[in-house]
Structure formats: structure tokens, C-alpha cells
Amino acid sequence: MVVCDRGDLAVGADGGDGLSAVPVSAAGYWRERQVTVWYPGSDSGTMVAMSDTEVSSDTETALVDAAVDALLADTDPSTMSAQEFRGHQFDHGLGWVHFDQGHGGLGVRPQLQRRVEERLRAAGAPGADPASFFLNLAGPTIHTHADEEQKQRFLRPMFTGEHRWCQLFSEPGAGSDFAGLATKAVLDGDEWIVNGQKVWNTIAHLADWGMLVTRSNPDLPKHKGMTYFALDMHSPGVEVRPLRQITGEAEFNEVYLTDTRVPDANRIGATGEGWRVSLTTLMNERTAIGTGGAPKRGSGAIASLVGVWNELPEDERTAVRRDQLMSLWIEAEALRLTNLRAGANRRMGNPGPEGSVAKLAYSNLNKAILEAAVDFQGPAGQVGFNYEYRRPEELSPTGAESGVGHAFLRVRANSIEGGTSEIMRNILGEQVLGLPGEPRIDKDGPWIDVPRS
């Protein structure tokens, strides 16, 4: 085995970052040190590179590799629909590898999911439908808190994309103060009658199921009188109305619940334990938004800025702009590597409050990158955008696929969705840094007695 240390590789020299048009001085704006492990190939005299995820040879890795080998031996992703293939992936324990066996997992450490995705993508297997983003939230919540029957009923169709999910948390009077929600659930036999309004519900118009949190006991303190349900979005009494955004789209919605009956069999967790169940959803949401899985270097919002730079006339590629571009690129790469390290350090279970770090940094960075992209374009960045009303069929956190103008407007939402930046700072201060919490006078008394606007 040979270890090769490449210490003088300039950014973009390998063609992988789209930055080849960025001048690099002799001193170097950016230098990368990359350790590559090489091993003898099957042909005599050849050497084959291994990625860092391929070097490990522990028991869990061997178990995952065997499951992937079996999946690809049994199925050909090129001959079936994405939904059908993902069903086989789930059945082989490769949906969420850290879940229990029989529920789409193998009971191994979660960072091995990246290894699975790398191998399956290399074999031509499809990824998840972008509109199925909420499986990253609902899946861990169901696995952690649901009973056996619910896991069997919900997890597989959620993973395959047969059932899409949405999140029904925020209300007009309970956004940042999520525990102050007022949507009422009253038990009536083996059903609950739900009345209330939810707001800012992404892709609710496409959803089959919703993660619904209600107020089931107004006489208890606000964190203790909440109950969590899986809501059939096609139930009588569920009305989804669009909320038009600054982009012209309406990917957000408001959902009205009028005497909607929810079977008690769809209650996730114990009655009154909705806050505890919700924390699993929220922590996974912040991690999903902040980390975005394992993106390739130079991808995401920064790719839009690099694209704008490469289209600029030579006389507009000033030293100041070049410095701004490289500063943002380095910041994006540092965040990507930080997220990869956090994922590698995570063992089993659900993510903790540290997910708020990535979410906050991601929100601020995306806005800075797209602001720079519009600034680089000058007056041309102010025209050519379509503000017509439309209902999206897919979900994109940055909107970069629709152009710089669209992305610049869409990322305004990054600092709100998944928890506002202000709330993220509170979580970081109190739960990560251990700073004293803000004074709160509404935590211990009955929710019904708390003044509300």
C-alpha cells in the first residue's frame, strides 16, 4: 500500500470544482493537501485509488457491503422504477442503515449510509425524490417513537416515495414559540377530533401524510399537553391553501383542520408526549437542512457564484471580486467538511442540538453567496426573472436550479424554515455553550392561563 501526499494542487486543477478560471497566484489563494491511499489493482502493474469510506474493514462495514452486493445482484436499477428499486433497497436494510433490522436498517452506525449511497449511485441507482425531503424527519421520528404496527405501516412507503410527508408544526400564533401551539385535539372514543390552523407547511399540497402536533390538554404546562399524530392529508376536514412567496411560487401552504377525525392508531408516542416526539423531528430537520447529506466539493449555492464568475468579462474579474469569491468558496468548503466530520463523529440515535450550528451557518452563508452572485452581475442581475404564480412539484432549499435570480430570493427563507436564526442562536447558547437561559414565565403554569395575542 502506498500513501501519496499531493501538497501543491491548486483549486480547480482537477476540474472538479469549476474554479479553473480563477487566477491562482504563486503564493496561492488556496492550497489543498489530499492524502490518497493506493492499492494494487487486479491487473499487474496497476494502482487503484480508494476513497476514505472504502479503507475501513470493520464488521459493520462488511455487513453493509454484503447487503449492497446482495441488492445489486438481485436487482438491476436500470430496469425498474425508482420507487420499485428503493423498495428493494429498504428490504435489504439499506434505507436507513442505523435503523433496526426489519425496518429498513441493519443496526449499524449511521455514517455508513454515505457508503451505501456512493455505491448505489455508482451503479446507476436513483436517489430520493426531492419532494420526499421530509422522510429525513418523519423516518427517524417514526422509528424512535412509533409502535411496531406503525413502523410496518409507515416506513417502507415513506422511503420508496409512495407516500410523501409534510410537517404541520407552526401556527399563526406559535412559530418560534412552537410549544405555545393551539390546534386542539379532543379524544372521542378511538378517534381524536382536531381543529386548528397550521402555517408555512412546505409541499403540503403534494403530501399524503403530515406530522401533526396538537394541544391535547390545555390545563397542563405548554410542553406537557401536546400530542403527536400522523395525519392522513386526504382526510375530510383537511384544507390546504397556497401561500405565495416572493419568488412567485407557492411551495409553502397553510393547512386548516376542521373537525378532522384522526384515529388513535395514528398517534405517535404517548398522549401528552408530543413535545418529546417533536424534538426528534426538529433535530433531524435542522441537521437535514444544515448538512444536506454529503454534497460534492464546490456544489450547492457556491456553484452558482462560480458560474457567474466564469461568465464575467475579463475586465470585470477584479481582484476584489476574486478575493470575495475565494473567501466564500473557502467558507462553503469549511462548512461542508465540518458537516462531514460531524456526521462521521455521530454514532447511533438522533442528532443533538449541535445540528443548529450547521443550520445557522448554512442559512447565513447561502444568503451571502447569492447576494454576491447578484452583485457580480450588476444591472443584469435585476432583470430576466419570472414572478408568475406557480405550484412547484419539487423541493429545493436554495432554488439554484432555477437560476441566480430565483435562488437569491428563495434563500431568504433559509433563515426562517427549520427554526429561525434567532432561535438557533438561543439553542447554541443554552444547550451547546451552556449559557444561562432567557427568563421564561410561561413554562410551569397551565397553557390555558398563558396570555396570547
pLDDT digits (tens, 9 = 90+) for 405-425: 888 998 888 888 777 888 888
What is the CB neighbour count within 10 angstroms for residue 215?
Answer: 25
DSSP line for 43-55: STT-EEEE-HHHH
- The pLDDT score that the predictor gives to residue 39 is 31
DSSP symbol at 78: G
The C-alpha atoms of residue 254 and residue 191 are separated, in whole angstroms, by: 24
The C-alpha atoms of residue 417 and residue 277 are separated, in whole angstroms, by: 19
Indicate the average pLDDT of the chain.
82
**Which residues are within 8 A (CB) of 302 and not within 5 positions of it... i.e. 6 or more apart?**
328, 329, 332, 369
Residue 311 cell numbers, joined: 461568465
The C-alpha atoms of residue 64 and residue 85 are separated, in whole angstroms, by: 17
Average of pLDDT values for 207-213? 97
- Based on the residue annotation, tell me whether 285 is a catalytic residue of this protein: yes
6: phi then psi, degrees, rounded to nearest 5: -95, 105
* Percent share of the chain, pLDDT over 90: 53
- Rounded to the nearest 5 percent, the helix, strand and coil shares of the chain are 45, 20, 40
On the question of pLDDT at 132 being above 80, the answer is no
Q: Which of 11-20, 96-105, 294-303, 404-413 has the least mean pLDDT?
A: 11-20
Q: Which of 99-113, 196-210, 280-294 has the least mean pLDDT?
A: 280-294
**Which residues are within 8 A (CB) of 268 and not within 5 positions of it... i.e. 6 or more apart?**
141, 142, 145, 146, 150, 228, 229, 230, 277
On the question of pLDDT at 276 being above 90, the answer is yes
The C-alpha atoms of residue 64 and residue 341 are separated, in whole angstroms, by: 20
How confident is the model over 316-360, as pLDDT tens digits?
Answer: 999 999 999 999 999 999 988 887 776 665 555 556 666 677 788
- Look at the chain and count its residues: 453
Query: What pTM was estimated for this model as a whole?
Result: 0.77
> Would strands 165-168 and 209-215 be described as parallel, antiparallel, or unpaired?
parallel
Q: Are the C-beta atoms of residues 227 and 274 closer than 8 Å to each other?
A: yes
Handedness of CA 416, 422, 427, 429 (dihedral sign): positive
How confident is the model over 350-398, as pLDDT tens digits?
Answer: 566 666 777 888 889 999 999 999 999 998 888 878 788 888 887 766 6
Handedness of CA 174, 175, 176, 178 (dihedral sign): positive
Q: Which of 371, 343, 223 is nearest to 284 (CA)?
A: 343
On the question of pLDDT at 81 being above 50, the answer is yes
As to burial, measured by CB atoms within 10 angstroms (0-12 exposed, 13-18 middle, 19+ buried), residue 93 is buried
**Strand order, beta sheet including 47-50:** 2-10, 31-40, 47-50
On the question of pLDDT at 187 being above 90, the answer is yes
Name the catalytic one among 249, 251, 254, 285: 285
38: phi then psi, degrees, rounded to nearest 5: -120, 145
Q: Are the C-beta atoms of residues 365 and 291 closer than 8 Å to each other?
A: no
Q: Which of 340, 298, 343, 294 is nearest to 120 (CA)?
A: 294
- The pLDDT score that the predictor gives to residue 12 is 33
- Does residue 195 or residue 39 have the better pLDDT? 195
